Amino acid sequence: MSIAFFKDEALDELFENIEVNLDRYRNGDFDDLITDDSVHKFAELSINQEFLISIYGGQDDDVDNCLKMFEAMEGLTPKLARDKRLWSYLTHTSLFHYTRERWPIPDDDDEAVNWIKHHFFITGSRDFERDNAASRLWWTTFICKRVTNIDTRKALGALFFRMDPRSQVLDRKTTALSTNLFEAVLEKMIISFEGDQKFLTDRHGLNRPFMSEVNALGGFNLLNALSLEQSRKKLKEIDQTVKFNDLPNETILNEIDVLEPESSGHLNTLPEEKTIKTDMSLRQKLVKFDLEEIRSKYPNTDENERILSRYMLFTFDDERPRNMKEFIEVFSWEDRDGISPDESFYVAQICKIIDDHLNL
């Protein structure tokens, strides 16, 4: 079977009429709407329809479905795999019933429209690896196969064990830049998966803070220069940093104060602490504001409801929202709703601290 893509006008029409077609998404199909006139066919590349139609099930079937998808699309290039028309065509045809089974459509119509946009279509670059029901299977497998030293099924098993750690890895530009760094992170995830699983299950205490520090590592040239052993060493250093940051804020502030100034020389060798120190500079400001302004006024706030709880502090430091609009984009409704009403007043001031820091 030749690979097919929606024509632009057909894809646009479907996307614009999601709300009109809600009953089709919930109870019907699009067989009568999608015709040969709706698609382009690419004869040079074929799809193994037998593998494709064997894809089914829910979250527990993700690993098997990844391998089936990659097998079905043998020969697909990353360039073609970045075409949203391909994946949207599959989620509305061969994989329509699978998509609806894997990502059950909410009862609320407004929620359903947004849900369909991300799982049946592709609205942004992150949807390829994270949200679209079809493309996420192929792209996750493709990324894992970059690491030839690790069995692909084992890598997929660790990545799909919990959705949040998977997103933390695949959404990070840092791990995307360096195969060796990605392999080192995968090794850590597999060790956790086969052991106590704490790194994968403690998302606020371990996984997100750890991946925030990974994301703070240097740029393309620096990361590409890291060997596998150097990458492993960096991750061990980050382990110590995360443990250090588990200390009370007062201790963090005191320890940061004694850091030596960074060198302004050229980077001829791998800097062991440079990025972490730069990141701690912003963290220091946030911790200082928390201790001197917020906690002094509201000493009895529940730790889980603090605007600069450990998780919130790491997320502010990692995502760096500079205004209320960016704050709402970064933090989920559940995160925002969990902030103490007394301390939610400080969001604008925290964003200003970040904005001032980034303008230095």
CB contact set of 167 (below 8 Å; sequence gap of 6+): 130
What is the pLDDT at residue 283? 86
**Residue that is last in its domain, among 145, 180, 205:** 145
What is the pLDDT at residue 215? 77
Whether 281 maps to a domain, the answer reads: yes
Contact yes or no for 217/275 (Cβ under 8 A): yes
Whether 266 maps to a domain, the answer reads: no
Give the whole-angstrom CA distance, residue 100 versus residue 104. Answer: 5
Give the whole-angstrom CA distance, residue 316 versus residue 323. Answer: 11
What is the pLDDT at residue 218? 65
Angle at 47 between CA 125 and CA 22, to 5 degrees: 55
What is the pLDDT at residue 124? 87
What is the pLDDT at residue 149? 92
Q: What's 146-185 look like in SS3?
A: CCCCCCHHHHHHHHCCCHHHHHHHHCCHHHHHCHHHHHHH
What is the pLDDT at residue 259? 36
**Residue that is last in its domain, among 129, 145, 161:** 145
Give the whole-angstrom CA distance, residue 317 versus residue 209. Answer: 10
Assign 44 to helix, strand or coil.
Answer: strand
Whether 218 maps to a domain, the answer reads: no
Whether 174 maps to a domain, the answer reads: no
Dihedral of the alpha carbons of 37, 40, 43, 48, in degrees to the nearest 10: -90
Contact yes or no for 109/88 (Cβ under 8 A): no
The domain of 90 spans: 2-145
What is the pLDDT at residue 314? 82
What is the pLDDT at residue 112? 94
What is the pLDDT at residue 247? 52
Per-residue pLDDT of the chain (360 residues; tens, 9 = 90+): 789 999 999 999 999 999 999 999 999 999 999 999 999 998 888 899 999 999 999 989 999 999 999 999 998 999 999 999 999 999 999 999 999 999 999 999 998 999 999 999 999 888 899 899 999 999 999 999 999 999 999 999 999 998 878 888 887 666 666 889 999 999 999 999 999 999 998 877 788 888 878 877 766 566 778 899 999 999 998 888 777 555 555 555 554 443 333 333 333 333 343 333 444 578 889 999 999 999 999 999 887 788 998 878 888 988 899 999 899 888 877 678 788 888 988 999 999 999 999 998
Whether 258 maps to a domain, the answer reads: no
DSSP string, 46-77: E--HHHHHT---SGGGHHHHHHHHHHHTTT--
What are φ and ψ of residue 43, in 5° steps?
-70, -20
**Residue that is last in its domain, among 126, 145, 164:** 145
| CA distances for 297 relative to 203, 285, 343, 352, angstroms | 29, 17, 10, 20
Whether 209 maps to a domain, the answer reads: no
What is the pLDDT at residue 278? 42
Give the whole-angstrom CA distance, residue 27 versus residue 37. Answer: 24
Give the whole-angstrom CA distance, residue 263 versus residue 284. Answer: 19
Whether 289 maps to a domain, the answer reads: yes
Question: E strands within the chain?
Answer: 2-6, 39-46
What is the pLDDT at residue 174? 66
In the chain, the number of structural domains is 2
What is the pLDDT at residue 168? 80
